[in-house]
Amino acid sequence: MATPPPTGPLLAVEGLTRRFQGLVAVDAVDFAVAEGTVHGLIGPNGAGKTTLFNLVSGVLAPSAGSVRLDGRALDGLPPYRRTALGLARTFQNIRVFSEMTVLENVMTGLHTRLTAGWGILVRSPAFRAEERAAKARARDLLAFVGLAEAAGTRAGDLAYGDQRRLEIARALACEPRLVLLDEPAAGMNPAETHALLGLLRRLRDERGLTLLLVEHDMPLVMSLCDRLTVLNFGRRIADGTPAEVRAHPAVIEAYLGTGGHDAGPRAVPQSRGTAP
């Protein structure tokens, strides 16, 4: 009997490079994310994490290298096509539609999945049925992230941590297989961070989602992630389990600046990023 072909990683990044004039922000980075895992991407401020997210999501074009989602090359595809293939993201600087309600914000994510087409113009029965279903689904997602009570609130009036959870609900509305989260705990208090940890665990364990997580909150990263890739000055300096990475000399040096970086300590692991 033929053995089934081995399943590859859900996300494969190979030789990924992005230059900005003289600066190599992402420098020949390789890593792979297995389906159903939480994979952390960590490194000091300016290491290239957000740039790498922009390359994977299609916001920026690479100078070299490739990104594959479930074996399919994403080269040249714009962000909306990548979303349709199952890739969603949140942003380091929150991007909610402040003037819209919380529910409407989630529904903007659902529109990538609506099919009524021209029926929207005449409010056809098919469109109205779809709209009702979309509202129900948006409410489900809000309940899942703990924002059910806030459905009618203006999004701009939500507390900071709640806006971050709203962004996650909107990302989930696209029915992704892989979600990229850029510093979801930034600006959260310890109770909010703890709730976020539970939410991200449930996404993996109950919904089978795959998460690629950039985060400076090391206790969160270490307790949540199955695997970590560490960047410093655009280069991958370590890759492994949290325990392996924590003990890696290059990682200790990058975070503590013991190797003679002139600025001394760069970003302590517990710091919360605030840069855009």
* 160-173 vs 102-110: helix crossing angle, rounded to 10: 30
- Alpha-carbon distance 184 to 158, whole Å? 15
- Cβ distance to ligand ATP smaller for residue 147 or 220: 220
Does 265 participate in binding ligand ATP (rule CB under 6 A)? no
The residues, ordered by sequence, that sit 6+ positions from 256 with a Cβ below 8 Å of its Cβ are 265
The interface mask with ligand ATP, positions 8-47, x = CB under 6 A, is: ------------x--x-x-----------------x-xxx
Residue closer to ligand ATP by CB (options 175, 239) is 239
Site string for ligand ATP, 56-95 (x = CB under 6 A): ------------------------------------x---
Task: Name the residue nearer to Mg ion (CB basis): 57 or 92.
Answer: 92
Instruction: Annotate 106-138 with b (16+ C-beta within 10 A) or e (fewer).
Output: bbebbeeeeebeebeeeeeeebeebbeebbebb
Three-state secondary-structure class, residue 217: coil
57 touches Mg ion by CB under 5 A:
no
User: Residue 21: which region, alpha, beta or left (left: phi > 0; alpha: psi -120 to 50)?
Assistant: left
d(CA 177, CA 157): 30
Pick the closer one to Mg ion by CB: 50 or 210. 50
Q: Among 58, 184, 242, 273, indicate the residue that binds ligand ATP (CB under 6 A).
A: 273
Judged by the rule CB under 6 A, the positions of this chain that interact with ligand ATP are 20, 23, 25, 43, 45-51, 92, 273, 275
